[in-house]
Amino acid sequence: MSTAILPAPAHRNYNRFLLLVAGLGGLLYGVDVGIIASALPYLEATSGLNAGQLSFIVAAVLLGSVISTLFAGTLADWMGRKNLMALSGVLFVASIPMIALSHGYSALVLGRLLQGISAGLIGVVIPLYLAECLSKDDRGKGTGIFQWLLTLGIVTAAAIGIYFSMQVDAVAKLGNATQLLAYKDTAWRRIFWVSLPPGVLFVIGSFLVAESPRWLHRRGKIDAARAALLRSRTNEQAELELKEMAATAAAEQAGASAGAARESLLHRKYVIPFVLACIILACNQATGVNSIIGYNTTILLQSGLSDVAAHWGYLILTTVNFLVTMAGVALVDRKGRKFLLSIGSAGIIVSLLVVGTLFHRTEKLRVDTGAAVQALVTNEQCATISFNQATAEKLLATSGEAARALAGRPATLVVIYSYGDFRAATTVVRSDDATAKPVEITRDSCLPPNKVVAFFSNPFADLAVARTAPLKIENALITPVPSERNGWITAIAIFAFMACFAVGPGVCVWLALSELMPTRIRSNGMSIALLINQAVSTGIAAVFLPTVGRFGYSTMFFAFAGCTVVYFITAAFFLPETKGRTLEEIEEHFAKGSSKS
């Protein structure tokens, strides 16, 4: 391939194309996460699957992602970043017809597992590829675009769901039950088909971009690395970066020849950036962002908003996330990673403390009517509760003096229950909601469908024992409904949380992951750090509902704020500024133990 200097417009065009391809990867990641929420109501209505099977279909993406994250770094080193991008796209494309044409449980699970495997690979290889291919001036913007389009993928999945819900509603108005059932079956299949074109485009684009120059250089393919650099840089810039790569490689080789190979991975140039990346990835989840997004409607209902207002609140939240991420992309190469992470995490702390305080004012009045609900459990070890004002008064009548303060006031009910070592919580219902469905407490709604899901839900639990264990009502919490004004103040604080997260951690976390890791450990280090990220996310998901049920939302929000304090301290005092530095310069910073940031 010729190494002639390309004109500046050609460089810009290639960089835009590279960002488009990588952005499509982020879009697929977001679609992987969000698409099932749109399809699930119609899948549930037409598939004949039970609650346990449906929950595993939802969770299969997480399982697939965990599995692929373990091996993504090794695969990226073995087959190259470009080839792994193409493979992740092919897996996504293959999953769509497998799901959309399925007529049984096994095909659905396998298709969703493939989607999860694709998401796990994308989450490692795209930030890795962007960090190694983009210049120091474009690296922040490029990785930010990945995050921005990831949020767009979630919004797109929601928009697809809204479109088909309108179509289903139109068919429902015709009054033909058979036709409605047939269209619901068509709807969930089409929802998956619509996500196919971005996957095809991503696969095609992956074959057209250049391989990572740093991966090529480490394989001794110097001319190929130069050619890859020249697609996006001038000849002078390419030669300068090649010299830095050569110097880094020579330093590693010199250390190995001096007998330091065995202990080299314990050198501060590897340990410190690896630990920093792991702390940032763990704290990113410990802000509670996934739980706050996932349970947003329920949180807003508990804060005092009506059902309609709470759903509007969720729409506003996702819109804030999407729009402010755009601002973060624009600022990340101007203001720097350290600045945005510090400002963002500080804003998150304040927002979480406000939300926690607002909930604490109400939750200190809550009453546990667990004993009264336990008395409603049938011989089949299940319970059904139609929660209205009369039911609320009846349950509260057994709770003594504390319940009198709630008499005559609208209230919410959430039940925390268990079968053996597995716990679950009901959705929140309000006594003043005449359209609310009865609370259904069943074994299927609590237990994982098989041992694999059971392990990821609670590795220390015995599924066989839980399948015959009696229903235990751990808490049945009745809480007064705050005013609508309180609900909107809470919503605004949560929107502020989302804005602070999007402009700081949301954009910068992928950069921190890819920029901090030295070349030698970048791929495997990223896999380990992302695995820690997923472990923290899974752990929070496991304790969120039981903690909220027993101690209230305020406790969780205060805990999230405490974890974010660790995030702020790490970002403000220990994280070096990487804006405007090549990857080799960042690596040299840690090798020398420089105190400059």
Q: Is the pLDDT of residue 577 over 70?
A: yes
Q: Is the pLDDT of residue 17 over 70?
A: yes
SS3 sequence, 493-514? Answer: HHHHHHHHHHHHHHHHHHHHHH
Mean pLDDT of all residues in 502-527? 74
Among the ranges given (240-249, 358-367, 452-461), the one the predictor scored with the smallest mean pLDDT: 452-461
Is 549 in contact with 485 (CB distance < 8 Å)? no
Q: Is the pLDDT of residue 6 over 60?
A: no
Q: Is the pLDDT of residue 262 over 80?
A: no
Among the ranges given (5-9, 96-100, 154-158), the one the predictor scored with the smallest mean pLDDT: 5-9
- The 10s digit of each residue's pLDDT in 285-316 is 899 887 888 677 778 878 888 767 876 887 78
Instruction: Identify the pLDDT of residue 252.
Output: 63
Q: Is the pLDDT of residue 559 over 70?
A: yes
Share of the chain above pLDDT 90, in %: 19
List b or e across 314-336, with b for residues whose CB sees 16 or more CB atoms inside 10 angstroms: bebbbebbbebbbbbbebbbebb
Token pair recorded at residue 496: 């502020």
Mean pLDDT of all residues in 19-23? 84
Instruction: Identify the pLDDT of residue 271.
Output: 79
- Amino acid found at 48: G
Q: How confident is the model at residue 156 (pLDDT cuts 50, 70, 90)?
A: confident
**What is the Cα–Cα distance from 518 to 583, expressed in whole angstroms?**
8
- The 10s digit of each residue's pLDDT in 412-445 is 888 889 999 888 878 778 888 776 778 889 998 8
Instruction: Identify the pLDDT of residue 331.
Output: 83
Instruction: Identify the pLDDT of residue 421.
Output: 87
Q: Is the pLDDT of residue 402 over 70?
A: no
Token pair recorded at residue 392: 């609320």
Is 416 in contact with 423 (CB distance < 8 Å)? yes
For the chain, how far is it from start to end, CA to CA, in angstroms?
A: 39
- Helix-then-strand count for the chain, H and E: 24, 7
1-209 is classed in which CATH architecture? Answer: Up-down Bundle (1.20)
Mean pLDDT across the chain: 81
Mean pLDDT of all residues in 233-240? 81
Q: Is the pLDDT of residue 257 over 60?
A: no
**What is the Cα–Cα distance from 587 to 121, expressed in whole angstroms?**
24
Q: Where do the domains of the chain lie?
A: 1-209, 367-484
Instruction: Identify the pLDDT of residue 519.
Output: 64
Q: Is the pLDDT of residue 244 over 50?
A: yes
Q: Which of 152-156, 185-189, 244-248, 332-336 has the highest mean pLDDT?
A: 185-189
Query: What single string gives the DSSP state of each residue in 273-324?
Result: HHHHHHHHHHHHHHT-HHHHHHTHHHHHHHHT--HHHHHHHHHHHHHHHHHH
Q: Is the pLDDT of residue 578 over 80?
A: no
**What is the Cα–Cα distance from 559 to 553, expressed in whole angstroms?**
10
Instruction: Identify the pLDDT of residue 582.
Output: 67
Instruction: Identify the pLDDT of residue 343.
Output: 93
Token pair recorded at residue 329: 């992309």
**What is the Cα–Cα distance from 434 to 387, expressed in whole angstroms?**
9
Instruction: Identify the pLDDT of residue 536.
Output: 80
Q: Is the pLDDT of residue 498 over 50?
A: yes
- The 10s digit of each residue's pLDDT in 60-89 is 777 788 788 888 888 888 888 899 999 999
Among the ranges given (180-184, 383-387, 577-581), the one the predictor scored with the smallest mean pLDDT: 577-581
Among the ranges given (168-182, 244-258, 287-301, 442-456), the one the predictor scored with the smallest mean pLDDT: 244-258
Instruction: Identify the pLDDT of residue 254.
Output: 64
- Amino acid found at 245: M
Q: Is the pLDDT of residue 42 over 50?
A: yes
Q: How confident is the model at residue 261 (pLDDT cuts 50, 70, 90)?
A: very low
**What is the Cα–Cα distance from 63 to 436, expressed in whole angstroms?**
33
Q: How confident is the model at residue 256 (pLDDT cuts 50, 70, 90)?
A: low
List b or e across 74-90, with b for residues whose CB sees 16 or more CB atoms inside 10 angstroms: ebbbeebbbbbbbbbbb
Q: Which of 91-105, 231-245, 405-419 has the highest mean pLDDT?
A: 91-105
Separation in Å, CA 9 to CA 6, 13, 135, 211: 8, 6, 15, 21
Q: How confident is the model at residue 260 (pLDDT cuts 50, 70, 90)?
A: very low
Q: Is the pLDDT of residue 563 over 90?
A: yes
DSSP 266: G
Q: Is the pLDDT of residue 542 over 80?
A: no
Q: From the centroid of its chain, how far is CA 136?
A: 27
Instruction: Identify the pLDDT of residue 258.
Output: 52
CA angle at 365 for the pair 361 and 367, rounded to the nearest 5°:
145
Instruction: Identify the pLDDT of residue 597.
Output: 43
Q: Is the pLDDT of residue 263 over 50?
A: no
Instruction: Identify the pLDDT of residue 52.
Output: 60
